[in-house]
Amino acid sequence: MNQATLANLLASTANQTDSFIRLEIIFVVLLSIAALVAYFSRRLRHLPYTVALVLVGGALTFISGETISFGANFGDIILLLLVPPLIFEATLHIKWEALRRDLLPILLLALVGSLVGAFLVAWPVSYLLGFAPLAAFTFGALMSATDPVAVISFFRGLGVSQRLALLIEGESLFNDGVAIVLFTVALGIGEAMSNGAAETFQFNQALLQFIRVAGGGLLIGITSGYIVSTVILKQVDDHLIETATTVALAFGSFVLAEQFHLSGILAVVAAGIFVGNIGSQNTSPTTQIALNNFWEFLAFTANSFVFLLIGLQTHINDMVQIVPKIGVAIVAVLVSRAIIVYGLTALNNRFNRLGRIPPHFQHVMFWGGLRGAISLALAVKLAESPDILGGTVTSDILLMTFGVVLFTLLAQATTLTSLLRRLGLTRKPTHVMEKERQQGQLLAKRAGKAMLDKLYHEGGLAREVWQAMAVVYDDEIAHSSHGLITHLQNYAELKQQMVMQARHETLKAERSALAEALRRGLIGEEVYRELVEYTDNRAAALTILQHSQDENDNNRQPAAGSGP
């Protein structure tokens, strides 16, 4: 190696080192900003954390006059690096029983709603703004999916009904598949038109492409999630290895699906649901705590970067120049969302009696249809190929997308809490909160007493110390138990809910015991299937009964404007 070659190599290495150091500095600064914003937003309690991040990012961009570059494309950072952990962490908490109960309205909104929404947005954009039909449809595809990143991050911690949160989050998790396929088809048609071969694209081809992309992504997620849940998480008892495996699953399922041009997000959704419902049952309590803590931190970090980047990439000066176009886009998105939510929920309520969606849920589903990072990522992807639709139109679509996203975050997200409060959906009734408080205290005291006894029997405590502390714990347990019993006597419906929950938990334990007995060879396959079917039938009956009770509770919710 001659001296010139060595000098070039050293110079290249130095440049790479400087680039890595710069990225590390940016990462540290943004994470520090996110922590500060989280601290002040939680103290203020009036401004959602995600909205505060966007405002801070926009302010930093406006003050500095330039955007922060990560040395990579904004869309790639969002879709490839930040979205998979957010989606995976959200699906870990989705229970299959609850999802299956409302799967029909969720899929109706995610599939039919996204397709109809793309056309409903495209028509006024084309008619009023003069966009070519293909360009208008491309924008409609961008706006057709409510963003799971924005929706999930906002609904966490609001204390809304679990069913309402599942309806909105479930739709957001699934409908991106349709939006991305529609967007991909629109770009394909645009490329074909530029090459004089638009006639090669037909409706049946687009339908087959959608089935392949969505179905293939789900298949990859189901397969990988099943393998990790039933093989690795069940056989390995090491929380570090198991946590690392879930990280590999979240990113690996996404990358594998995208490599075959399938829906990576749907793959992550399927994988996360498998781990949350099957894999978590095969892990120890230590592993479950480690998984929850790790994924909670990772989701917080990714979520913070997503909304900071939205603010940092927003060009207010450019958006001001096309305010009328952004206004038309916002109105088109809101009108289409209203038609989709109220129309499809009415269809669901007509043919799905057990899964009726009450009106106050519909209002929140309409106003909670936030747009966010995925729409922006797709718009940036479009901006990478301006020749497909034309440079001016592509620039307008990008700025209109930013405008709609900012409106949903700054206008809808900030007023959604007020809407929930007016509908009586933000807080649980006082007697329910008191039951949970009494029950939580009782569980905590019993866990403390159990640990105290364990320490004594293992020789970690002297007898006198153990006896003195045990007396205190016994008194506190008796007091908490008496308080809970008294409270349940005053509210019979709470006692019934506890009975239903206990039945569900005991049936899960019975099913797990049967699986363990089969694994150990204590029962045969035929007996196992017979007993599992009997257990599942009992669980299904309980689910129907619970759903009926929930429906009655929903119908008793206060009307709009009545307040809690």
In which band, very low, low, confident or very high, does the pLDDT at 560 lie, cut at 50, 70 and 90?
Answer: very low
**Which among 242, 266, 244, 239 is positioned nearest to 253, based on CA atoms?**
266
Give residue 154's pLDDT: 65
Q: What average pLDDT does the segment 472-479 reach?
A: 85
State yes or no: pLDDT of 515 exceeds 80.
no
Q: What is the mean pLDDT of residues 376-386?
A: 82
Average pLDDT of span 417-442? 77
Do residues 145 and 176 touch, judged by C-beta distance below 8 A?
yes
More confident position, 22 or 348: 348
- Give the tens place of pLDDT for each residue, 189-225: 777 776 665 555 566 776 787 788 888 989 999 999 9
pLDDT in tens, 323-372: 999 999 999 999 999 999 999 999 999 988 878 899 999 999 999 888 88
Q: Which residue has the higher pLDDT, 140 or 478?
A: 140
Q: Give the list of residues 6+ apart from residue 364 with CB closer than 8 angstroms, or none.
A: 160, 164, 168, 416, 419, 420, 423, 425
What's the full length of the chain, in residues?
A: 564
Mean predicted confidence (pLDDT) in 503-509:
77
Which tops the pLDDT comparison, 441 or 400?
400
Least confident of 189-193, 444-448, 461-465: 189-193
In this prediction, residue 69 carries a pLDDT of 55
Cα gap 307→413, rounded to integer Å? 13
User: Going by C-beta distance under 8 Å and a sequence separation of 6 or more, which residues neighbour residue 409?
Assistant: 50, 51, 54, 150, 307, 310, 370, 372
Residue 468 burial (C-beta neighbours within 10 Å; 0-12, 13-18, 19+)? exposed
pLDDT at 153: 62
Q: How far apart are CA 220 and CA 63, in angstroms?
A: 45
CA-based radius of gyration for the chain? 27
**Mean pLDDT confidence for 303-321:** 81
- Using an 8 Å Cβ cutoff, are 253 and 221 in contact? yes
- 394-411 average pLDDT score: 90
pLDDT of residue 10: 47
What's the pLDDT at 116? Answer: 92
Query: What is the band of 16 on the pLDDT scale with cuts at 50, 70, 90?
Result: low
Q: Can you tell me the distance from the alpha carbon of 563 to that of 241, in angstroms, rounded to the nearest whole number?
A: 49
Residue tagged 């049946």 (tokens): 204
Measured distance CA(509)–CA(496) in Å, rounded: 20
Q: Identify the band that residue 68 occupies on the pLDDT scale cut at 50, 70 and 90.
A: low
Mean pLDDT within 271-277: 90
Residue 307 predicted with pLDDT over 70: yes
Q: What is d(CA 328, CA 313) in angstroms, rounded to the nearest whole number?
A: 22
- pLDDT confidence bin for 46, thresholds 50/70/90: low
At 306, list the tokens. 């997503």
Q: Which helix (H) or strand (E) holds 98?
A: helix 96-101
pLDDT band, very low/low/confident/very high, at 123 (cuts 50, 70, 90): very high
Q: What is the pLDDT of residues 221-253, one digit of tens each?
A: 999 999 998 888 877 778 888 889 999 999 999
Q: What is the pLDDT of residue 564?
A: 34
Q: What percent of the chain has pLDDT over 70?
A: 83
Most confident of 129-143, 196-210, 499-513: 129-143
pTM of the model: 0.74
Between CA 414 and CA 407 the distance in angstroms is: 10
**Closest Cα partner for 81 from 260, 421, 361, 309?**
309
Q: How far apart are CA 302 and CA 533, in angstroms?
A: 41
d(CA 505, CA 201): 52
The confidence score (pLDDT) of residue 65 equals: 62
How does the average pLDDT of the chain come out, rounded?
Answer: 80
Helices and strands (DSSP H and E) totals, the chain: 26, 0
SS3 content of the chain, % helix, strand, coil (to 5): 85, 0, 15
Res 198: pLDDT: 52
Quote the pLDDT of residue 50. Answer: 77
CB atoms near residue 503 (< 10 Å):
16
AA letter at 41: S
Q: What is the pLDDT of residues 165-176, one digit of tens each?
A: 889 888 888 887
| Res. 527: pLDDT tops 80 | yes
Q: C-alpha distances in angstroms, 515 versus 27, 226, 410, 445, 485?
A: 46, 16, 50, 32, 35
Residue 554 has pLDDT above 60, yes or no: no
Closest by CA to 70, choosing from 386, 308, 391, is 308
